[in-house]
Structure 1
Amino acid sequence: MPDLKGKTALVTGGTSGIGYATARAFAEAGATVFITGRTQQRVEDAAASLGAGVVGVAGDVTRLEDLDRLMDVIRASGAGLDVVFANAGSGEYVTLAEETPEHLLDTFNRNVGGTVFTVQKSLPLLNPGASIVLAGSTAATRGLPAFGAYAASKAAIRSLGRTWATELADRKIRVNTIIPGPILTPGLTDLEPDVAKRQAIFDSLASNPMQRIGDADELAAAVVFLASDASSFMTGSEIVVDGGINQV
């Protein structure tokens, strides 16, 4: 595990799934970790279970006032930020025929707007040499039926990562994108409430070279690598953690 001792990290959407696993991995690597989530009780429970080095701040990344309050809490710690994992986001199955303006705007507000303004609001706190990790998705390049809005939002994230890598290079801030494939999380499970249909989706996702769905801890290990000095010559890049589903 790369060393994050003395570093301060932020994980949005840190109460479950990939965000929770990554917050735990950051803490185990020695970082002080701030996590966010939209529900106060879930944030408190997650922070308590992760240990003394983790601080929970409830808030919605689509609300600028919540992001301002989050940054105020981090600023008060006096250490600035060394790592930002902009992880919060979600998606639903909606076909082109079913798409509505409300759903499209909500998806982009959560996945793109939430990421843009999380990173923007963190800029004054970022220390020289800080690492920003964005959450992409293999869906962005796969053309999965009924996943168009989500996939497009994640394609935007990959593009933003490249742009920000050049914009922030003079501050020695690195920006990279993690590309999860099928990872077993509540977000994946909640996509399909029908148990039989859900299992069919899982079976399809497991048809990768490794013949299984990934674990959140496997994805978190890759995020820790991008967050640490072990990836010091990487920026504007992506790491794909997908069991090979998009690769072969």
Structure 2
Amino acid sequence: MTENDGTRTDRNDHRTPGSAGEFDGRTVLITGGTSGMGLATARHLLASGAEVVITGRDEARLRRAEAELASGDRVFAVRADSAKPADLARLADLVGERHGRLDGVFANAGVGIFELPTDVTEKSFDHTVDVNFKGVFFTVQHALPLLEAAGGGSVVLNASWTLHRGLPNAPVYAATKAAVHNLARTLGSEFAGRGIRVNSVSPGYIVTEMFDAVITEQSAKDAVLAQVPLGRLGEAEDIAETVAFLLSSRSSYITGQDFVVDGGVVAVAGSW
């Protein structure tokens, strides 16, 4: 079992961040922002002028991420467990007190539990659903008044390439990610009249702490790499750039869509 709420040595320092000033005056919430895609997105948005709220379940990891981002009071780090709606309600209250609004949300917190269907327990089933689906839903629900206070905004939900292709050893995980994208379509329609756009991003094989915890053997990593037509594994910054685009005004005519960022695994693999 792995969760994108931890620390790792960042691999993306050579990547160019977003356009300076693009997010000036905007506040964005990133759940699961202490590592991987969440942390990379926070760094990207800060470089573009945003004020960023990050969450994590572990206080020590949260403070390390805050220190690593090194952006002073432009970073607001809040301990919150996305599986607990009460934590998300408290998070919304704290953000409201500090900022009074949200211009964007990246509902990124998630858990990866990879089990055969015959090995799934009620405990692992409930935990996966609680974090990956229930947590995403209530993150958006509690953020809604803050988005409305900003006059609208953009929400990005972290889904997965597995909603487009079957993954035999992850039936519950894949199902929750399919639910997340369906939620993006439904909420995108529901909130359009309020000026709030909702989309999902579906990462492929992205090298993060979660990836390293699940795929530990070099032979397994080589096998995964062989599935990627572009010839490399993804980096957290690949997702951060896509999320930043979806949060920005550059995507102002896009809602209810899923953006697959996977090096061609879903659309191209097996045909080159």
Shorter-chain TM-score category? over 0.9
Distance 1:153 1:8 in 2: 28
Q: 1:178 aligns with which of 178, 197, 201?
A: 201
Unaligned stretches of 5+ in structure 2? 1-17
Alpha-carbon offset, residue 141 of structure 1: 2.0
Alpha-carbon offset, residue 204 of structure 1: 2.3
The one-letter code matched in structure 2 to 1:136 is A
The one-letter code matched in structure 2 to 1:85 is F
Partners of 1:8 and 1:79 within 8 A in 2: no
Distance 2:23 2:169 in 1: 39
1:90 equivalent in structure 2: 111
2:178 equivalent in structure 1: 155
2:124 equivalent in structure 1: 103
Distance 2:64 2:137 in 1: 27
1:32 equivalent in structure 2: 51
Partners of 1:206 and 1:213 within 8 A in 2: yes
Partners of 2:27 and 2:99 within 8 A in 1: no
Distance 1:202 1:178 in 2: 23
Q: 2:168 aligns with which of 133, 145, 148?
A: 145
The one-letter code matched in structure 2 to 1:35 is I
Which residues in structure 2 correspond to 1:74-85 (within 5 Å)? Answer: 74-85=95-106
Alpha-carbon offset, residue 129 of structure 1: 2.9
Residues 1:240 and 2:263 are matched in the alignment: no
Deviations for 1:157-204, whole angstroms, at most 9, x for unmatched residues?
010000000110111100011110000000111124xx43xx233222
Distance 2:99 2:234 in 1: 37
Partners of 2:113 and 2:124 within 8 A in 1: no
1:41 equivalent in structure 2: 60
Distance 1:220 1:133 in 2: 11
TM-score scaled by length of structure 2: 0.87
Alpha-carbon offset, residue 62 of structure 1: 1.1
SS of the residue corresponding to residue 233 of structure 1 reads coil
TM-score scaled by length of structure 1: 0.95
After the TM superposition, list the runs of 4 or more consecutive aligned residues in structure 1 that deviate by more than 3 angstroms. none
SS of the residue corresponding to residue 119 of structure 1 reads helix
Deviations for 1:16-52, whole angstroms, at most 9, x for unmatched residues?
0000000111111111000000001111111121122
Alpha-carbon offset, residue 102 of structure 1: 1.6
Distance 2:29 2:178 in 1: 23
Identity of aligned residues (%): 43
